[in-house]
Structure 1
């Protein structure tokens, strides 16, 4: 049963910015509604109300709609016209294809002085003799009945024949009411028999389940359901409110049954991540690229997972185990077996702000001890004829000078730099250094001149 809710009304009031207090028109057709409720409390300013093609059996809860001008209740299960006398401004009432059999109930519309149009075509009361004359004489303010204009002469003739027509209508109405009572009793008896048959059918299915395998039993159950569905549509029934409601219930049941089968077919079997023997499997459900790097220098594994760039980080769930790493990407599993054991507590994860990639760093449990590269050295003798000691290096290995501190207590700083004569420089012109041991041609040695000081 579909109920009228505030969310449903707001959804149908999009043209009014989803505001319901000032709503003047609303359409609630084809919603499988079985009762009119809350409309007169939430939408007091309604002028036009559409309720066609639902399962409403009674006109109710519309008395407070003082501004209502048009009410459409076509294709419902209404059997009596009532509870509309408070709708003071009602101008048009549509009850096409309902089950109105009490034609005398149209007398309740006398107080709707503004009512001009009435539609009752498709109702059982339309088959009564004198139907049109009775309605025209009962509701004198009408201008049109079932889409046909009421003329002045037709109205006068209906008023003249009203006493005779009224008696005929009452007799036909009583016969119809008696017929409806018998139909309800027969329908109630038939529904009880169907319930008993369903109970027996369920017991047979349960007994078969205990004696047959699941696939065979499922096949037989589907055959039984198809057989019952075929019999339901082939069985002749009268067109009554109860039969219309039963058809609706049956269609809804079949629809739910098909939706259930579709959901079961869509559900995939759960993927195996770890076998029964305890072997961890590699899984890549999201089908994304990845790279696993063995960083020997830092003794760790680095997993680079190419996660979608614009995906929110809250949709990622990372689980690092000693032998494998598992990442949930939007509910899909990515699992990778590691080539060695790692430390889950020391592992870390970070995400790139530019590419969106997920970088998981996992330190190894066993630390690798590396051998340091060997260096060669040569000892130079201190007794060298040269003024200073020079350390020679090869192109492949660096050499270091080893000094015995017991033999050399202090360093001789005078031999570190080669002795070089200073060259005097003039204020405007630099003098070139003369080569040692070379004497110019115009040089004259004067023994009285003292030697220059260094």
Structure 2
């Protein structure tokens, strides 16, 4: 599904369909593949809920100067980007996406201009398999107050700053390991953007919403550890959204 003017008007009935004054819009579980039109039609948005779709890229939100909360959990995003213009952004939820160590540093750097960002969620992303990911993010984004719902303490900030140089070296090694891994080692049932999209659309075709079935993640035959773990995180998340 596309984000059209008609869809936005339907989702803004509480605001009499006046898009130019809309401050919040919920578009979760709509089979949306691309973010579009919200920055042109809803310039005063403060809350944009896009969780549980199949969005692959963060785009077309740069002009949302008043946006405070962006929820993109349960999507197919591989990199954090194009948020520099969201100068009011306070909370960003990217729970259970596909941000890996290969794009972690660039993703973090792309948030440096978001000076008001206090609350960031990255749990369930492949990058969190690296033990040093949290300290790396804490050291790189001093404006954060919470990461994955856990308060960042002064002692954690000090440790993160002290270890930043070694963490960068570790990250480079992790990236080398990742890039050296043969493509054939990726299982056809692995939790990838392609497989998630396929499962998502299959469930949509049999008229089950992704949330009601929690089912599209249950099709796993359990032969891949990374997928099993992310399925559990995804199911847990869907019980609270």
Give TM class, smaller chain: 0.7 to 0.9
Mapped pair 1:241 → 2:193: yes
Change (3 A) 1:45 1:141: same
Q: After TM superposition, list the pairs within 5 Å mapping 1:94-243 onto structure 2.
A: 94-101=93-100, 102-104=103-105, 105-177=107-179, 179=181, 182=183, 237-243=189-195
Shift of 1:254: 4.6
Shift of 1:86: 1.1
Mapped pair 1:58 → 2:57: yes
Shift of 1:26: 0.5
2:66 is matched with which residue? 67
Greater length-normalized contact order (CA 8 Å, ≥ 6 residues apart): 2
2:225 is matched with which residue? none
CA displacement 1:318-343 (0-9 Å, x = unmatched)? xxxxxxxxxxxxxxxxxxxxxxxxxx
- Which one has the bigger helix percentage? 2
Consecutive unaligned residues in structure 1, runs of 5 or more: 188-235, 257-454
CA displacement 1:209-248 (0-9 Å, x = unmatched)? xxxxxxxxxxxxxxxxxxxxxxxxxxx6000110011112
Q: Is the 8 A contact 1:129 1:169 kept in 2?
A: no
TM-align CA RMSD: 2.0
Shift of 1:14: 1.0
State TM-score, norm by structure 1: 0.43
Q: Is the 8 A contact 1:117 1:142 kept in 2?
A: yes
**d(CA) in 2 for partners of 1:247, 1:123:** 18
**d(CA) in 2 for partners of 1:156, 1:25:** 37
Q: After TM superposition, list the pairs within 5 Å mapping 1:2-21 onto structure 2.
A: 2-21=1-20
User: Could you say what secondary structure the match of 1:111 adopts?
Assistant: coil
Change (3 A) 1:240 1:149: same
Q: Is the 8 A contact 1:103 1:173 kept in 2?
A: no
Structure 1 runs, 4 residues or longer, greater than 2 Å off: 173-179, 248-256
Task: Give the number of aligned pairs.
Answer: 205
Change (3 A) 1:240 1:144: same
**d(CA) in 2 for partners of 1:255, 1:70:** 30
1:37 is matched with which residue? 36
1:369 is matched with which residue? none
User: Could you say what secondary structure the match of 2:111 adopts?
Assistant: helix
